[in-house]
Structure 1
Amino acid sequence: MVKYRDETLDRTFAALSDPTRRALLARLRAAESLSVSELAEPFAMSLPAIMKHLDVLTDAGLIVREKTGRTVACRLTARPMEQAMHWLERYARFWSDNLDRLAAFVEETPWPPTAPPPVPPNVRASPSRAGSARGRRRSTPRGRIPKT
């Protein structure tokens, strides 16, 4: 059985929980490497805010930053994402197997039953009092207490 490091998975899923970080990863997927300014270009936020998102992605191990002169380039790394995918696949197999067993059970027992159960002849349905005028109580006007 594969052992997963909980803190690695926690950081990976926490990093993926933010839509901006997912968008940054999608942009990196389209290119082998992008500079920080190229990554930040389509986002309506400051460069320091983008840098904070990149810090989270770096801490999770999802990206690697390399500095060449004054330019910092980012590229994807696959290892944490592969671990997360293996973890998800294990649960997908579990749920798929259980749902397959449930489907087989449901197919063996048709629902709804073909005929309603018979009503015994000595049992009568009681008439509803909802429609009768005698059964209804009238509400009193606001602020008045009814006399008893």
Structure 2
Amino acid sequence: MLLLKGKNQERDVFVAIADPTRRELLRLLADAEELPLHELTPHFQMGRTAVSKHLAILKEAGVVSDRKVGRETRYRLNAAPLQEVKDWVSFYEELWIDRVTLLKNLLEEE
């Protein structure tokens, strides 16, 4: 399990992406090279502070990075830590494909 330390906490990538708001932030960042907070906030029914807190959790998990450009902070997706999620889901996808195939074969025999 991938745990990254940040601000005296460890953030698991699975915990970071468990929240629908954070998954939507990742989707928005995947569609753009990088975005400032003021462009991300209008996509949500919450204020800048709340969106910023969600970004901080994603940053602690390593799936988002940021950089200062003048007075604004720009955020960008770092998809590498999501490989662990992909690997985990792939294992269960294969398991279910095997079970559905087995069920199909059993039903065809009857």
SS at match of 1:103: helix
Runs (4+) of structure 1 moved beyond 3 Å?
none
- The amino acid across from 1:39 in the alignment is L
Matches within 5 A, 1:13-28: 13-28=14-29
Q: Which amino acid is the alignment partner of residue 18 of structure 1?
A: D
Q: Does 1:49 align with 2:87?
A: no
Q: Which amino acid aligns with 2:69?
A: T
1:23 shift after superposition = 1.6
1:58-69 equivalences under 5 Å are 58-69=59-70
More helix by share: 2
Deviations 1:1-39 (A, max 9, x none): xxxx2547x822222222211221121122100011111
Unpaired segments ≥5 residues, structure 1: 110-148
Contact 2:2–2:13, Cα closer than 8 Å, also in 1: no
* Identity fraction in percent: 37
**Aligned match of 2:100:** 99
Q: Distance in 2 between matches of 1:6 and 1:95?
A: 25
SS at the partner of 2:62? coil
**Secondary structure at the residue paired with 1:41?**
helix
Which has more strand, going by share of residues?
2
Normalised by the length of structure 1, the TM-score is 0.63
After superposition, the CA RMSD in angstroms is 1.8
Q: TM-score, normalised by structure 2?
A: 0.82
Paired residues in the alignment total: 104
Q: Which has the larger radius of gyration?
A: 1
